[in-house]
Amino acid sequence: MKELDPRILLAVFQEMLGVWLWPLVAVAVLGTLAFVLLLVRDRGLRARRLVGAQVLALPGGALALWIMASVSSSGFADAAGPADWILIALVFVLGAVGTTIVAYTLAGWLGGGARGRRA
Assess contact for 21 and 14: CB atoms under 8 A: yes
> Given a cut of 80, is residue 23 above it in pLDDT?
yes
Sequence-distant (6+) residues with CB within 8 A of 106 are none
Q: Is the pTM of this model over 0.85?
A: no
> Given a cut of 80, is residue 3 above it in pLDDT?
no
Per-residue pLDDT reduced to its tens digit, 96-118: 999 999 999 999 999 855 454 55
